[in-house]
Each structure stands twice: as C-alpha cells, then as structure tokens.
Amino acid sequence: MGNTFLKCLIFLTGVVAGGGRIDKPILKAGRAYHKYKAKRNCWPRVRGVAMNPVEHPFGGGNHQHIGKPSTIRRDAPAGRKVGLIAARRTGRLRGTKTVQEKEN
C-alpha cells in the first residue's frame, strides 16, 4: 500500500480585515500616543543630542551635535556604548555595486 496524498484546495474571497491600515498617515501626536500606549514604552523617542550630558553620551553642548565620533569600540563600558558599535566600515559609501552576470 503506497502513500496517498490528499490535495486540499481552499479558495478565499474578499480581503483580510484591517488590511491597508498602515497606509493612512498618523498626522497627529495624539494618535501616535494611543498607538504606542497599547504596545510598550517606545514613544516618544528622544534623540541623544537633545538630552543633557548626564542622560546620554551625545548630550550637552551649545548646539545639537554629537561632538565626538559616533563609532565606539566593542569593549567600551555599558554607559558609553551608543552610536555605531564596533562598526566594520565608516565614512561615505563610495562607488557602485557591480553585478556579475552568469553565463549559461
């Protein structure tokens, strides 16, 4: 007796409920507040340069600038490890990607 495979075909009509919900822009901070209130404490997101120096390594200064390299070494202490942690490459991206075509 061999293996028998049953082919089940399901046809769905219509669209999924709530589809396209994220296409509409939020437009207001109040709507964003209620959106993230149900999730977790991830809003509003304050930039490090907008903070005081006691709150973030990028904070402080007379202008909102980082004032130090944003790349940081891997063995930095936990309070300093912000920005690009152990970046493999830095600087402007130069050149273009070349695609090699396969010959068949």
The model's confidence at residue 15, banded by pLDDT at 50, 70 and 90, is confident
Average pLDDT (50-71) is 96
Q: What is the pLDDT of the chain when averaged over all its residues?
A: 88
Bridge partner residues of 84 (DSSP): 71
The first and second tokens of residue 94, run together, are 């130069």
Q: Which residues contact 74 (CB under 8 A, 6 or more apart)?
A: 85, 86
Work out the percent of the chain whose per-residue pLDDT is above 90: 61
- Whether the predicted pLDDT of 54 surpasses 90: yes
pTM of the predicted protein model: 0.64
Average pLDDT (32-55) is 94
76-96 confidence digits (pLDDT tens): 999 999 999 999 998 888 888
- Whether the predicted pLDDT of 4 surpasses 70: no
Asked if the bond preceding 53 is cis, omega within 30° of 0, the reply is no
Q: CA 9, CA 75: separation in Å to the nearest integer? A: 56
